[in-house]
A and B are shown apart, each in its own frame.
Chain A
Amino acid sequence: MRIGLRVEDGACQGVMMAGQTKVAEVSTRDAASLSDAAEQTLNALSTTMGANVGEIIVDVGRVLSSRPLSNVAVIRISPRPPADVFHTSKLPRIVEGIATRIMHVRGGHDIRAHELAKLDLATFERNVASLVQGHRNVAITALGANSTDEHEARIADAILAHDSDVRISISHDFFANAFRDRDFTTTLNSALMETGEYLAVCLEQLGHRYFPGAKVSFVKNDGGRASISHLAVRPVHALHPEPASQLVGLALLSGQADGEIIVGSEHSVRAGTTRDGLPTSTSLLRNVYEASLATNAAAIEKYTAYHPVQPLTPTTVVDLRLDRDGPLPFGLEPSFSTQDDAALIGCATAPWTAWIDRLENVASKEDLQRVQRIAEEDAKSIVVQSGGSPVLTRVMEANSYALPYGNPGIVRVRVQAADNSEPGITALPADCQQRVKA
């Protein structure tokens, strides 16, 4: 069995699933702290067949979104520093104030991973003490980091040699074509690492206290999950998981793993697509004209009068409104209505997922096939190492792209793998279902 947990400061909702059946639901409010709320919820759930719980999956998006961001020292590596303030990479408002120190280091690569400028490590090492003074979080973004992490890693090593307690985030870990998108994502990730670290430790301890045999993981923005230890390193992937989890949950509730899901709520009507119960994803969360967040997240769009009708695609319309007196907009006829917390159910049933998103240099069709195959194997390996089934882990998406006016031979290879095991162990009969109040 699995537990899905949504934690907040002072509140926690939990659901216990046996296969595809909900067997218990707990909601804790007005607790003294996040850990108290989570503990009370887990305690209540442990009274319900707790011995059989093998997985605890936590949604930490609301905590990450609501807690203050930590201050970050930002290091930008490029051949030359900006000549004026107007050409300085501008961070979006959400992180602008927390980048309390910004430093330029000479270095950087081109798209072929050729060095554009030698890394000025000597000057950096002389200044490293003043740079990290007062900062526990550092974000490093280098020119050409999509193609190599060499300069970012060397700067990170120099910082750690000076102070091994500094948390470091490098932009090579986040694929985006625009420097400012990587800069923003790395800075935000760095600013979230302290909270991510706390959550990883706290939730793993609590989970093991009440369910000693259970694996603890967190749900990601793509609707899949990853080991809780990764939350300390890349918390940005756990920042917006609810839209994806909701699709996963609704796909499960509707029994329609492949197709389109249109979700009507009090505020909006939105649409997304699932394959094998997992949302189709985009690699950037766009924010109008500001920098985008480089994270794989469910592709969800606003439903409009021009929304395509695809007769061959199974479509499920879900009415999530509390007040259903009036019809849904656009003449939509609900396939079903539910008051279930679909996002929490989706969290509880999230599969292990992994992404490979990187640049490759290829010289022939055979080369291209080889790098695609390696990327697929790498993605599957990560899933299996996390705990996915070696037999049932499969590639959900595999693409290769190049840019217009791009360098011949440079391709972006993007692969998603997921564990396709059935969630939980076995489904329980309906008469075993119960609700637990905390």
Chain B
Amino acid sequence: MRTLNSEDVRHFSKGANFLACHIDPAAVFAYEEMIVQALPTGDVRLINIDELDPNDLVVALGFVTQGLAIADMPPVGDEFVRCIQAIEQRLGRKVSALYSLAAGNINGILPLMTGLQTGLPIVDSDPMGRVLPLISQTTLTLGGVRISPIAVTGVTGEHSTLDVEDPQRAETLVRSLVIELGGWAATAMYPCTGQQLAEHGIHGTMTRMIKIGEILGAEEPVESKYVQLMRLLNATRVARARVKHMESFSRDKALGLPTQTTSLTLVAEQTGQIIRLEIGNEILLVLVDGAVAAAVPDIITLLSADLGQVVNLDDVRVGQLIDIFLTPAAPIWYTEAGLNLAGPPAFGLQLQHPRCHA
């Protein structure tokens, strides 16, 4: 077990941003501040999966959003506690520990706050190993672990508990609820035993965020940080490239409505290769001279070449020199079942993942 201090929390949020640079990090940093302020009132305890009793009840916490950023509608603070209570009531058992729904961005960091509020430890594991957009896209789904009961609490304090078998159906129901609840909802889902999480979760992912943050926050030359990141994450630098063009339109919606930036065209500084990033909420594809160099579920991170800091998609500018990093996802995501659930076809891209050629 490890008790996190304020430095750990600050590193944690940097790591959470690194692993999900496609999402505005404002809420992550807001949570970081909140947790650091609240630390004197309690402990954030991070435990390894093997510290759990196999029969302990653990539950995943995460925000589900549809339409309004959490930063625009800050939670009042009791939402996740209510969700945990609802799960306990439904199952007639006490929750022993919490885990993050996703190892990145807001859902990576928020359980630390709930851990402080409830005194429950946080498991150093998660069911995505990164951030994926759908609540059904988890390794627990791959392992056949039930997603429900799902406890949902909205902006207004209104709440609901869903019993649903099929994770895809759960996705539909939760999203529908979230719209009417105000734009986001706090959720607790995938209640399972310590043994189920041990068998089907991805482990060490919370510690990994802290380590990433330590590297990014160190007073060291950029190249030295990169070497350490590559060692830690088995990552590679796809290219150092300059942004030449940004497109912002919707290709998915029949209406042809605009959306966030949907593709970036860059030119590699050394080789002159054309790099294209295709985005659909996620960074889905990296093409180098037309060939697929990386594809979801690979984790793509953009770093500023001069400072080695994470560049979020909202902040990309034409002319910017960017290092494109590829971090492999957990191995289970590259199995046939994993790619079916969270690979290119799951995002409407009919292509073979580059890692399947090997």
Which A positions have Cβ atoms within 8 angstroms of B? 78-84, 86-87, 89-90, 108, 110-112, 116-117, 143-144, 146, 177-180, 289, 304-308, 310, 362-365, 368, 400-411
Judge whether B257 and A409 touch: CB under 8 Å.
Answer: yes
B247 at the interface (CB under 8 A from A): no
**Contact A401/B38 with A110-B183, A117-B156, A306-B306 known, Cβ cut-off 8 Å:** no
**Contact A86/B77 with A80-B156, A289-B33 known, Cβ cut-off 8 Å:** yes
Partner of A402, one of B22, B23, B33, B260: B260
Partner of A178, one of B72, B78, B155: B72
Q: How far is the CA of A144 from the CA of B71 in the complex (A)?
A: 11
Judge whether A310 and B68 touch: CB under 8 Å.
Answer: no
Contact with A along B235-258 (1 / 0, CB 8 A): 000000010000010100101111
Judge whether B183 and A407 touch: CB under 8 Å.
Answer: yes
**Contact A404/B77 with A177-B69, A178-B72, A310-B319 known, Cβ cut-off 8 Å:** no
Partner of B281, one of A82, A177, A179, A404: A404
Hey, which chain B residues are within 8 Å of A364, CB to CB?
255
| Interface hub of B113, B256, B260, B313 (most chain A Cβ within 10 A) | B260
Q: How far is the CA of A304 from the CA of B256 in the complex (A)?
A: 38
Partner of A116, one of B182, B253, B321: B182
Judge whether A177 and B71 touch: CB under 8 Å.
Answer: yes
Judge whether B34 and A86 touch: CB under 8 Å.
Answer: yes
Closest A residue by C-beta to B25: A289
Hey, which chain A residues are within 8 Å of B32, CB to CB?
289
Partner of B260, one of A111, A304, A308, A401: A401
What's the nearest-Cβ distance from chain A to residue B221, in Å?
13
Judge whether B71 and A90 touch: CB under 8 Å.
Answer: no
Judge whether B258 and A408 touch: CB under 8 Å.
Answer: no
B66 at the interface (CB under 8 A from A): yes
> Contacts A402-B259, A406-B67 given; 8 further ones with Cβ under 8 A?
A78-B155, A83-B76, A87-B76, A108-B73, A116-B182, A144-B68, A306-B306, A368-B255
Interface of B is mostly: loop
Hey, which chain B residues are within 8 Å of A178, CB to CB?
26, 69, 71-72
Q: 24 A-B Cβ contacts within 8 A?
A: A80-B156, A84-B77, A86-B34, A86-B38, A116-B156, A144-B68, A144-B72, A289-B33, A306-B306, A308-B319, A308-B320, A362-B255, A364-B255, A365-B256, A401-B258, A402-B258, A402-B259, A404-B23, A405-B65, A405-B281, A407-B66, A408-B253, A408-B255, A411-B258
Judge whether A143 and B155 touch: CB under 8 Å.
Answer: yes
Contact with A along B75-88 (1 / 0, CB 8 A): 11110000000000
Contact with A along B310-328 (1 / 0, CB 8 A): 0001000001110000000
Hey, which chain A residues are within 8 Å of B26, CB to CB?
177-178
Interface of A is mostly: loop
Q: How far is the CA of A79 from the CA of B182 in the complex (A)?
A: 10
B99 at the interface (CB under 8 A from A): no
Hey, which chain A residues are within 8 Å of B319, CB to CB?
307-308, 310
Partner of A362, one of B37, B65, B257, B306: B257
Judge whether A87 and B75 touch: CB under 8 Å.
Answer: yes
Partner of B77, one of A82, A117, A143, A407: A82
Among residues 24 to 60 in chain B, which have CB atoms less than 8 Å away from a CB atom of chain A?
Answer: 24, 26, 29-30, 32-34, 37-38
**Contact A81/B259 with A177-B69, A180-B71, A408-B253 known, Cβ cut-off 8 Å:** no
What's the nearest-Cβ distance from chain B to residue A397, in Å?
14
Judge whether A87 and B74 touch: CB under 8 Å.
Answer: yes
Contact with A along B107-139 (1 / 0, CB 8 A): 000000100000000000000000001000000
Closest B residue by C-beta to A183: B74
Hey, which chain B residues are within 8 Å of A368, CB to CB?
255, 257-258
What's the nearest-Cβ distance from chain B to residue A233, in Å?
24
**Contact A179/B73 with A407-B179, A411-B257 known, Cβ cut-off 8 Å:** yes
Q: Which 3 A-B pairs have the closest CB atoms?
A: A407-B67, A87-B77, A308-B319
B198 at the interface (CB under 8 A from A): no
Judge whether B76 and A80 touch: CB under 8 Å.
Answer: yes
| Interface hub of B77, B305, B306, B320 (most chain A Cβ within 10 A) | B77
Hey, which chain B residues are within 8 Å of A78, CB to CB?
73, 76, 155
Q: How far is the CA of A372 from the CA of B77 in the complex (A)?
A: 38
Q: How far is the CA of A54 from the CA of B200 in the complex (A)?
A: 75
Hey, which chain A residues are within 8 Å of B320, CB to CB?
308
Judge whether A308 and B242 touch: CB under 8 Å.
Answer: yes
B338 at the interface (CB under 8 A from A): no
Partner of B306, one of A82, A83, A304: A304
Hey, which chain A residues are within 8 Å of B74, CB to CB?
82, 87, 89, 179-180
B157 at the interface (CB under 8 A from A): yes
What's the nearest-Cβ distance from chain B to residue A96, in Å?
13
Q: How far is the CA of A117 from the CA of B157 in the complex (A)?
A: 11
What's the nearest-Cβ distance from chain B to residue A122, in Å?
19
What's the nearest-Cβ distance from chain B to residue A291, in Å?
9
Closest B residue by C-beta to A409: B257
What's the nearest-Cβ distance from chain A to residue B56, in Å?
27
What's the nearest-Cβ distance from chain B to residue A99, in Å?
16
What's the nearest-Cβ distance from chain A to residue B259, in Å?
5
Q: How far is the CA of A117 from the CA of B37 in the complex (A)?
A: 30
Closest B residue by C-beta to A410: B67
Partner of A83, one of B23, B69, B77: B77
Judge whether A110 and B182 touch: CB under 8 Å.
Answer: yes
What's the nearest-Cβ distance from chain A to residue B111, in Å?
15
Among residues 329 to 346 in chain B, which have CB atoms less than 8 Å away from a CB atom of chain A?
Answer: none
**Contact A110/B67 with A89-B74, A289-B33, A306-B306 known, Cβ cut-off 8 Å:** yes
Judge whether A79 and B155 touch: CB under 8 Å.
Answer: yes
Hey, which chain B residues are within 8 Å of A108, CB to CB?
73, 155
Judge whether A306 and B155 touch: CB under 8 Å.
Answer: no
Hey, which chain A residues are within 8 Å of B253, CB to CB?
408
Judge whether A400 and B68 touch: CB under 8 Å.
Answer: no
